[in-house]
């Protein structure tokens, strides 16, 4: 089944404790992206990747890191989480490539993160 998976789905952690949220897609998509969703703010893009080893900042990259060593995986790293990073996080992938208009994005199921 074609899908985007994220793990964990739920996470409660404490300030400053490094964490990684994994994202994997099995559709051979080149484009992957991370978003956070907060009430009243919609989805805000954190980072995106056009292809392996190519990443770019979105609207709200502060406090986050990403890597794209393989096409299928795009982990989101919070080196020192803070309470303002409490949010619902979505990973998405798309078959689009650089220079071409986007295709629909396929979203993962979401990761609800709470930082106390």
Q: Which residues bind other proteins (CB under 8 A)?
A: 33, 35, 40-45, 48, 50, 56, 58-59, 90, 98, 101-110
Structure tokens at 16: 């400053």
Structure tokens at 35: 């978003």
Distances from the Cα of 50 to the Cαs of 1, 4, 96, in angstroms? 23, 16, 8
**H or E stretch covering 65:** strand 65-66
Cβ proximity to other proteins, 78 vs 92, nearer residue = 92
In the complex, the smallest distance separating the C-beta of residue 105 from other proteins, rounded to whole angstroms, is 7
Cβ proximity to other proteins, 33 vs 85, nearer residue = 33
Cβ proximity to other proteins, 98 vs 116, nearer residue = 98
């Amino acid at each position: 089944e074609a899908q985007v998976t994220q793990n964990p789905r739920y996470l409660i952690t404490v300030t400053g404790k490094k964490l990684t949220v994994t994202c994997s897609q099995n559709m051979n998509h080149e484009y992957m992206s991370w978003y956070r969703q907060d009430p009243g703010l919609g989805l805000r893009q954190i980072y995106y990747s056009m292809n392996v080893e190519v990443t770019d900042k979105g609207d709200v990259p502060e406090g986050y890191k990403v890597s794209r060593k393989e096409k299928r995986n795009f982990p989101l790293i919070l080196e020192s989480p803070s309470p303002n990073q409490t949010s619902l996080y979505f990973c998405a992938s798309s078959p689009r490539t650089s220079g071409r208009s986007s295709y629909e994005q396929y979203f993962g199921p979401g990761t609800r993160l709470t930082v106390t």
